[in-house]
Amino acid sequence: MARTVWNSTVGKKTVMAVSGLIMLLYLVVHMIGNLKIFFGAGEFNHYAHWLRTVGEPFMHYEWTLWLVRIVLVAAVVAHAVSAYQLSRRDIRARPTKYVHRKARASYATRTMRWGGIILALFIVWHVLDLTTGTVHSGGFQEGHPYQNVVDTFSTWYGNAIYIVAMLAVGLHVRHGFWSAAQTLGAGSRSRDRALKTTANVLALVLTAGFIAVPVGVMTGVVS
């Protein structure tokens, strides 16, 4: 039965919707945590340490954090695979392009695929930069996330990569939230306007919230 659901277009769209909402919830929490950097190094570093001790003593050190990471990886993989397979089905169903050249979809809709690729590449870079320190500039300091963030956004390319990725996040959320609501049956004529407004507000708040951090470093508010 699970295989039958997965093989159907509706099943893949449902997987995309649920996994997308999981990632959206993470983005909201992650953005709120990131904004703690404006309260100083002590506050931000303490928050980073707390993430590793959530659930103690029932959960061992970092177990909760790793559980969240596993769920997120599963959501990202499920989202990417279902998106790719749906895209291939769409191409097979419509091997020739439409006669009309004028784009009928919104900019966010037309860039969902490229936006997804940009975000996938950014996730890899972000992990290598601020989690493992592999590509980090200025010397990665384990246990000092505040200084690591300042180091990253003290470089022009660190800011450029992050800001472009966050703009892609905004576009992705704007279209994805409304699309997920339709897939899960929450959409209707009476709710569509509210859902689109919610999608726009979420996209704007997340984009502004994430971009506030590199802007804070660039302007010297965070140093």
The model's pLDDT over 14-52, given as tens digits with 9 standing for 90+, comes to 999 999 999 999 999 999 999 999 999 999 999 999 999
pLDDT digits (tens, 9 = 90+) for 122-161: 999 999 999 999 999 878 898 899 999 999 999 999 999 9
pLDDT tens digit sequence for 194-220: 888 999 999 999 999 999 999 999 999
Q: What is the mean pLDDT of the chain?
A: 88
- Whose CA is closest to 15, among 74, 70, 66? 74
Q: Which residue has the higher pLDDT, 40 or 7?
A: 40
Q: Buried (b) or exposed (e) across 191-204, using 16+ Cβ within 10 A?
A: eeeebbeebeebbe
pTM: 0.88
Q: State which H helix or E strand residue 144 sits in.
A: none
